[in-house]
Chains A and B, each alone.
Chain A
Amino acid sequence: MSEIELEIKGLNVDYGLGEQSVHAVRDVDLTLRRGEVLGLAGESGSGKSTLAYGLTRLLPPPGVIRGGQVIYHPEQGEPFDVLGLSDRQLRAFRWAQTSIVFQGAMNSLNPVHKISTQLTDVLRAHEPGSTRAARLARARELLALVGIPADRLDSYPHQLSGGMRQRVMIGMALALRPKIVIMDEPTTALDVVVQRQILGQLVGLRERLGFSVLFITHDLSLLVEFSDRIAIMYGGRIVEQASAAGLHKDSLHPYSHGLLHSFPALRGPREELSGIPGSPPDLRSMPTGCAFHPRCPHSFDPCVRRVPELGAPQGRPEQDRSVACWLHPAS
């Protein structure tokens, strides 16, 4: 469980080049362990999706990876840096090792191709030796995996509901039995009931197939329920990392605290919802020091001047927890 699957080291992603560039992801270190669900939460514009696109090298122009490493540890063989792969190696790596379920459930499927075509072309690209019948059989299996009847293979995307389409995407993501599935707000476009269904299904599938998940969302309440560990992003940096339960019980960073308290709890005593005053920082002119200090109720002297390092907080014996806040300076 504690074996490392994917290691992000000092990743920096910019949009644009030179003076005008915007630093969307700054010095991010993040580790995904084998078989876990790692939640990545933050407001819009915090850089969470950019991080996901960056580590799979899918950044649309003008996105540029300015530095860092994304080290993938295969089950057998030497770890390698994804950012250093050639185009051919990258194509072989994509989907076979890391697949992605994207934000737009509605637009992730090409409207002019049948579901079967879109499920089988990825099999054909990665397993050129397979027969057509074998690929179709696999496509049927994948649909069964996500609870969609096999006769839907001949449907076009517009004939499916939003929830079905996203389930097809999840099935597609599992086509090559990847080790990592990145979910970029996979259920944002769906209603709450369907959200639950799909996430429940996902958890079941993960237990059966044993892949690890990087789950990106702005909905922290979902993460608390479905993930093992949670990383909170703000202004392109990771500000807190902890186990889901630990974060829920006791969040250290004022921003995580604010995020957690902007959702009503379903159970437990009534609480006042506080939310976070102000709006996310403009990435073009970031505040000095800690990016959160203008909105932070506890900001004090060092916050304005120096950027806090992400590290294990002093005086907290529990392992596996790090925070970047001057209230809890790193030991």
Chain B
Amino acid sequence: MSYLLRRTGFYLLTAWIAITINFLLPRLIPGDPVMSLINRAQGQLSTQAIQSLYVLFGLNKDESIFVQYGHYWAQLLHGDLGLSFAFFPTPVASVIADSLPWTLALVGITTLASFLLGTALGVYAGWRRGSWLDLVIPVTTFLSSVPYFWLGLIAIALFAGVNGIFPSSGGYEPGLVPGWDPDFLLSAVQHSLLPAVTILLSSMSGWILSMRNMMVTVAAEDYVTVAHAKGLSERRVMVSYAARNALLPSVSGFALSLGLVVGGTLLVEIVFSYPGLGFELFQAVGAKDYPLMQGIFLIITLSVLAANFVADLAYLVLDPRTRREG
């Protein structure tokens, strides 16, 4: 229990540091966000307008940095991440809220599917070493070594376009109103299928390989021989003795990849013009939209931390040796 508390404390501290850096960053880079907005307005802003912009972005030069820090926290706790430049005057929070579900659905589901599928294949490939399943490995490794955007472009060229079955961009048919009605959902699934399959193809081999190799290592352990000698069924030995132990290293890898889900797969979303967080970040960088970038970074950092925390918890549950007594 004290271990859990210590871990929680550690993550809270890390989160605080991340948030603070996020506060300091725009104040450290030369040419603050307001300057870039002024440049965009091409000198048509009055001094009062400039001053009010500074206040609006929390960069009021009349306030000390500590007061600014206080305001920053107060805003953050209200869920206020400032206003976006690129989509002025939409609040950053609502821009993120619009794109986050798309990323979570697409990348989240595919990451999970890739992990489950890859791990299952790896378990079988490792258990029946030398079977036809071993042939799957070079194929998936090849697919994952192809640069992602290339795979995406090939997929678009083959399956999308004028005569294609799948749409080549966007998250849903233009003209549909997002909502929980069948037309929209069908369209959303249709739009996400191609990016999902390409992500799956390029990310699965990692899971297969690591799981297969761990299975081969664990299968040589004495307790697996003991399990065989006990006359347990082949399935029970494979699942409960070999795979159960071989899974441990993959779990932390999976948690880390869950953390990266929120950042989206930048390339996927750009190649498929998918309205997710990664695409938003790409646009934000292009438009020098500091508040939006800041907001997205914050969300990414916090979700990586959360995923790590979940990984720690999962390890605690799965591996009794990490539980410290007393």
Q: Which residue numbers of A lie inside 8 Å of B, CB to CB?
A: 56, 58, 60, 87, 90-96, 99-100, 102-104, 107-114, 121-122, 125-126, 156, 158-159, 169, 172
Contact = CB atoms under 8 A, between A and B. Distances in A.
A56 B225 CA distance: 11
Interface stretch (B88-96, B111-119, B232-240): B232-240
A156 B323 CA distance: 11
B228 to A, nearest CB: 6
Contacts of B231: 90-96, 122, 125-126
Interface in B233-292: 233-234, 236, 240-241, 244-245, 248
18 contacts: A91-B231, A94-B229, A95-B231, A99-B230, A100-B226, A102-B222, A108-B222, A112-B245, A112-B318, A112-B320, A112-B321, A113-B244, A121-B232, A121-B240, A122-B231, A122-B232, A158-B321, A169-B226
B162 interface: no
A42 B46 CA distance: 97
Nearest to B129: A61
A90 B223 CA distance: 19
B229 A121 contact: no
A251 to B, nearest CB: 33
A109 B236 CA distance: 15
Contact of B229 (A95, A126, A159): A95
B134 to A, nearest CB: 15
B221 interface: yes
B321 A122 contact: no
Given A95-B231, A121-B232, A108 B226 contact: yes
Given A102-B222, A125-B232, 17 more contacts: A58-B229, A90-B231, A91-B232, A94-B228, A95-B229, A99-B229, A107-B221, A108-B222, A108-B223, A108-B226, A112-B245, A112-B318, A121-B230, A121-B236, A122-B232, A169-B226, A172-B230
Contacts of A114: 320
B229 A110 contact: no
Contacts of A100: 226, 229
Contacts of A107: 221-223
A125 B221 contact: no
Contact of B321 (A56, A111, A121): A111
Contact of A104 (B222, B236, B240, B325): B222
A60 B225 contact: yes
B230 A125 contact: yes
A125 B225 contact: no
Interface in B194-232: 220-223, 225-232
B225 A102 contact: yes
- Residue among A92, A94, A103, A169 with the highest chain B CB neighbour number at 10 A: A94
A110 B230 contact: no
B98 interface: no
Contacts of B321: 111-112, 156, 158
B32 interface: no
A109 B325 CA distance: 20
